Amino acid sequence: MSEEIIQNKVDIIVVGAGPAGVSAAITAARGGKKVVLVERAPYAGAKNMYGGVIYSHAAQEIFPNYKEAPVERYISKHNYVLLSDEDSTEISYKNPSHEKCAFVAIRAKWDKWCVQEAVKEGVYFAPDTLVKELIVKDGKVVGITTDVEDFYADVVIIADGVNSLLARQIGLREDIKPKNVALAVKEVIRLAPEVIEKRFSLKEGTGCAMELVGGPLAQMFGMGIVYTNKDSVAVGIGVSLEDLKTRKVKPYELLDAVKKHPFVAELIEGGELLEYSAHLIPEGGYKAVPKLYTDGAMVAGDAAGLVNNVHFEGTNLAMISGKLAAQTALEAFERGDFSSNTLCLYKKMLENSFVLKDLKTYKDVVHTLSGRAGSFLTYYPAKVNEFFSIFTCADGVPKKGNFQKFTKEFFTKRSLSELFKDAIAGIKIVFGILTVSYTHLRAHETEADL
């Protein structure tokens, strides 16, 4: 730490310089508070990994000048790909009005830029600083113990990632369970920009985000991704830790299998491997969100399990949760009360935002899908590909016979009881989404009436 903090006491300490932490730090600094942002890596982004997409609405809320940041490509289309052993069905969605809705960034560059912006706002950044534990006195968090010395603050915002040893230390969460986390592995492969744009059918400077289902990931609760950077392509997978443990599968072997699938292999042919990384992703959703506050402390981002894995959203939830935690801290200074009586406002703010509303909307989806992964993520994608194989092929055999065989096998290889369970699961997912959506709509109408 520096001579500027000679008394070892500041207003707010933020632990972790990822999207949640830096958003909290810069928001608090803009509120006139003395803020220290602590990061154990040598620089922000040095150890961070994510799928690849950042959403513009959240970025703009925290960084109005985010377009000055090192953005790789703005996403112009989203593709969803159903894989079988060798074939694939690709669904592509494009909307010109969405071209500035999301962008791809490389975290080592993006996170570093974000911290630089925070420093401009007065945040003191302390990299290469390991926080060993929180300092608790009379049941209240009052500071941190680092590998150098102790430092104190009225509020500590915990944004130390998915494992969050600090949140566990003070009882805000339990040890992470394999069923509530996915292991993601990713490779970044260099390709020339013009090659990327030709292979992904992109205009210059625009990008593509792909989600992959089935194929090498069959029978597991997992999906793959392919995202385009300026001069590289990111290929990755995320698979339930419980599935990896049960099936005794090595994640890098799954990733290699995805890369060798004809659909993916064609996209990355001739590329040069630049980077390999791995990361845990909280998958528990709404039901696994821990207690978010205690006297003197709040927890944000991945540390709080705030990931919407149905929509592959994490960075935007992290940024907004960090902002709301800081706003709660500012309110605590206004009241002169740093206890749970005031910090409970943080949870209320999250409940009124899209963050917890979206997680609540999908609270049963992940559990339902994981229980029927063999159906929704394996069997049906394969049958879709089989259907199109028949539909698009002219082999001198009457189509009627092929389709009759397809229909017969559909019902004989998948028992009526299994089809019934799949139908019930599908209805539960749709009904759950519609019910919560209607509840939100009625709440908004009631607020408008008031």
Q: What global pTM score does this model have?
A: 0.88
Question: How far is 381 from 84, CA to CA, in rounded Å?
Answer: 7
Residues 359-378, mean pLDDT to the nearest whole number: 77
Q: Going by DSSP bridges, is the β-strand pair 272-282/293-294 parallel, antiparallel, or unpaired? A: unpaired
Res 397: pLDDT: 79
- Reported as a pLDDT band with limits 50, 70 and 90, residue 17 is very high
Whether the Cβ atoms of residue 213 and residue 225 lie closer than 8 Å to each other: no
Q: Which residue's structure tokens are 């944004």?
A: 159
- Reported as a pLDDT band with limits 50, 70 and 90, residue 435 is low
Res 410: pLDDT: 76
Candidates 181, 149, 167; CA nearest to 245 is 181
Model confidence pLDDT, tens digit, residues 134-187: 999 999 999 999 988 899 999 999 999 998 999 999 999 888 888 889 999 999
Mean of per-residue pLDDT scores for the chain? 88
Report the share of the chain in percent with pLDDT over 90.
Answer: 63
Residues 260-286, mean pLDDT to the nearest whole number: 94
Whether the Cβ atoms of residue 23 and residue 302 lie closer than 8 Å to each other: no
Residues 191-218, mean pLDDT to the nearest whole number: 94
- Reported as a pLDDT band with limits 50, 70 and 90, residue 5 is very low
Which residues, 6 or more positions from 343, have their beta carbon under 8 angstroms from its beta carbon?
155, 293, 294, 295, 296, 297, 298, 328, 329, 332
* 377: DSSP letter: I
